[in-house]
Structure 1
């Protein structure tokens, strides 16, 4: 028997605007934990923050790549219905990538870093992690950070921060990242230097 499709936002306009403001705050102030204060059904294994981000930013013009864990039939049905998004099997063709299993994620260089003429056309990667505070301690600096910010994102692959250094060096090209955990989100734009 097919599972029932979960509802989206209770008030699509108001909720989308509220989540969008939270996402912009997370990207404007890298390393800051921002709470998404919406009550929202989520298809397993996606959390509230990831689902809310998708409902706010993804639409029929946004090719999305999902990892094996995040590409369940429930997730596909939910997001394709509520967002109308096309799904691509090629991470390099995606504008958004949803990663539910961070440890097994592809290398950052597998995703589209944009073009010299259009660096804004790069991919945004959403990475679900088990914790935003109990991982390897790192120091972040760059635009939006007045003083170096300490962050401890948990559950990332060993090569992630090396990949991030390579990604940052390609600026203005490069991917941007949102880390999500439960209802919380942390933004990591390509401009940020991370010291481990």
Structure 2
């Protein structure tokens, strides 16, 4: 038996399989995640082969689950929001699944984890505030927050381009990204992520090199914002 988040035993025999090809799939997912970190705000699509078998394994989207399996190991502490499992039983089963396949330690307090997984929503702002941002002496100790969203939209902003006269698509908050890995500027919308979260993230850049690395996932796609990326809030109700 494997313990879940609340200590509820979960039969190992009932746990779903992980990556079909653990070594290849984990490496391919990690490389795509590195690409996302190196190109902030650009939406990346994970290889179908890497996601094989993960589509209906847990309540997590395939990309979210692939990132969890690729990042977590016996030396990491992982916090999974209870909301990710949709109900306590599924959350316990999800945590047991992750522990079985990765050997990760479960962090019961989000402030003590190295990787946090959450569903998009108002609670994400509180999670961002509570995560460990590292220190000036050891910024690498800063946590990574993975947020599963309902949609990811991105637009390139070429240098010298005239601002578009039409409103940006969607009803969410658009942000303008600049910094390392971005040639001029990039625009990103994470469906369901509210203004308060982006305000907190924009303010956090003032503490660089301390900070939280962000990964956004949706279906088979992901995008990332390392702590070095500067964020300017455009807003969903503004023509730019």
TM-score, length of structure 1 as denominator length = 0.93
Residues in 1 aligned to 2:58 and 2:120: alpha-carbon distance in whole angstroms = 12
Pairs within 5 Å for 1:54-65: 54-65=68-79
Q: Which of residues 35, 53, 64 is equivalent to 1:40?
A: 53
Task: Please state whether the residue corresponding to 2:228 is helix, strand or coil.
Answer: coil
Q: Of the candidates 192, 195, 204, which is equivalent to residue 155 of structure 1?
A: 192
Q: Which string of whole-angstrom CA distances, capped at 9 and with x for unpartnered residues, describes residues 103-159 of structure 1? A: 322242210001222110110000001111243222111100002111111111331
Over 3 Å counting, the alpha-carbon distance change for 1:107 and 1:73 in structure 2 is closer
CA distance in structure 1 between the aligned counterparts of 2:206 and 2:111, rounded to whole angstroms = 19
Bigger share in strand: 2
Structure 2, unpaired ranges of 5+ = 1-9, 86-90, 154-169, 234-240
Counterparts of 1:67 and 1:34, CA distance in 2: 24
In the alignment, the residues of structure 2 paired with residue 45 and residue 184 of structure 1 have an alpha-carbon distance, to the nearest angstrom, of: 16
Question: What corresponds to 1:182 in structure 2?
Answer: 219
Mapped contact 1:43–1:75 kept (Cα < 8 A):
no
Q: Residue 94 in 1 paired to residue 107 in 2?
A: no
Partner Cα separation in structure 2 for residue 8 and residue 51 of structure 1: 9
Q: Which residue of 2 aligns with 1:165?
A: 202
Structure 2 distance, partners of 1:40, 1:64, is 22
CA distance in 1, matches of 2:18, 2:149: 22
Question: In structure 1, how many angstroms separate the alpha carbons of the residues matched to 2:57 and 2:146?
Answer: 16
CA deviation after TM superposition for structure 1 residue 88, in Å: 1.2
Matched, 1:20 2:30: yes
Between the aligned partners of 1:148 and 1:115, the Cα distance in structure 2 is 28
For 1:138, what is the secondary structure of its paired residue?
Answer: strand
The offset of 1:68, in angstroms, is 1.7
Q: Determine if contact 1:102/1:128 at 8 Å carries over to the other structure.
A: no
Deviations 1:23-60 (A, max 9, x none): 00000000110011222325432111111111111111
**Paired residues, what number?**
196
1:117 aligns with 2:127: no
Match of 2:152 in 1: 132
Query: Scaled by the length of structure 2, what TM-score is found?
Result: 0.77
